[in-house]
Structure 1
């Protein structure tokens, strides 16, 4: 037993108003209104919130939320993390209520990325409404995947595999070093670790539509709304996903994809020498005005 999926991302943003448009009108997520907090929350299925964006003094990820199967598994993994020398803290009842989970622990991974392991999501039985997207591919695959950085990416990779039970899927070498892609369920990869100087940070996340038309319609929305493009439409070599990327309001790389590869059985690890079979042509992030 180990981590079962990427459950949620919690972010802070210096301009949450941009996320209202980006999350709902572009990505097609369902916003959840809450008069008691300034935090924006977005659903894509019966999970209470897959993305939460709170006002903050800087743009940053405050939690990579990883789901585990039950309370006993959470306790086992928390002890395993503590044995590596990492300090682990339990979420307070108020924090659990804010996340709509039964329990969680929090810590920083070896790269400095804030991680929360949780169990017992309090499901929202109000039917999710995503009129811009036929359906998001979630369920036992979680909400998608994320790529984070670490100065010592190898140590962070070892931690996720040896302590949290992730499975190595593939690697890719670049001038900056090796990126590791890891899975924890049938989705080809749930998490990637890439080397970068400084404290660990969120670089990229992906959502997957159930139909190719979901990708095409999102591409049309991006053009119509002038959402800055990062990678043009293309097909990946590792997970075979057809997708495109845009820059989020904070310049995270956000991928909207379709028909990612599923890996239900153990397979040999491999290295890719190019990220795409075709497409995915790069455009640098927009520069701040002035």
Structure 2
């Protein structure tokens, strides 16, 4: 089983309408709205990459993974059924809502809904960013998603052994006996990553990648002007060399905007980093953690 990459993310938000301003003014994204009030954010020629559904609270609704071709979708379906995963077919209404040719969905071991699709709708094939430098690198999908899970070993086993992702890197964190695992399904350093917090599950952040460091800097300034709180200030990761910042955005989740992410190749071997040692760091520079930001609202107690 092989997936092309992260395709789209859907969240419920009490502040979905605020993206009509934050999307273009801060991140340079195009904004659209469906007849039922879903705010959609466009980053490239796809019809949308983020869908913000209005609702009474903030929560992750679904994550869409691009299978690429119809035969790959069929193979993924057969593979997951053989692995004992309960698969649900997308009916005509769901396919229309997601603007895809075909899809099925399932829930992971922690209840997060994942949709595997093929044939996402293309717009007018021209992305109209709101700044001259606004252009996103989506060659290997939307970017990556990082999840909080209650059981790290169970998460890694599912995504590695069932979903077929490969382990890129592992970090031992300063919190005793805590690690982060980074896995990929294409050349991106990671398409998904996991960290464990007992009793909690949800979306820590989504990363999207600009083709311009200038754009990252302009968006960082715009985020500050708009009053968005930073979870991590501007900095550069050591592992994948991404220069980025992490902003807490409307809806209680975190968006990382980065540039310069390192790609993997066939010769890549899994690396292990121990940043729990005195003086060790996972950052080349910056990325100061802002504790006052607090936990993301879309990270919730298991079962809620």
TM-score over 0.5 for the alignment? yes
Distance 2:68 2:256 in 1: 27
Residue deviations 1:204-260, cap 9 Å, x none? Answer: 111111111011101110121111111111110111001111111233221111110
Distance 1:92 1:287 in 2: 39
The alpha-carbon deviation at position 284 of structure 1 amounts to: 2.4
Residue matched to 2:92: 93
Change in CA separation of 1:49 and 1:285 when aligned onto 2, cut-off 3 Å: farther
1:284 to 2:274 alignment = no
Q: Is the 8 A contact 2:12 2:251 kept in 1?
A: no
Query: How many residues in Structure 1 have an aligned counterpart in Structure 2?
Result: 286
Residue matched to 2:78: 79
1:28 to 2:28 alignment = yes
TM-score after normalising by structure 2: 0.89
1:117 to 2:116 alignment = yes
1:203 to 2:212 alignment = no
TM-score after normalising by structure 1: 0.93
CA RMSD of aligned residues (A): 1.8
Q: Is the 8 A contact 1:111 1:150 kept in 2?
A: yes
1:9 to 2:16 alignment = no
Distance 1:228 1:165 in 2: 36
Residue matched to 1:52: 51
The alpha-carbon deviation at position 23 of structure 1 amounts to: 2.1
Change in CA separation of 1:147 and 1:67 when aligned onto 2, cut-off 3 Å: same
Distance 1:82 1:151 in 2: 24
Change in CA separation of 1:287 and 1:70 when aligned onto 2, cut-off 3 Å: closer
Residue deviations 1:18-49, cap 9 Å, x none? Answer: 22222222121111233x22100111111111
Residue matched to 2:181: 180
Structure 2: which 5+ runs fail to align? Answer: 276-280, 296-304
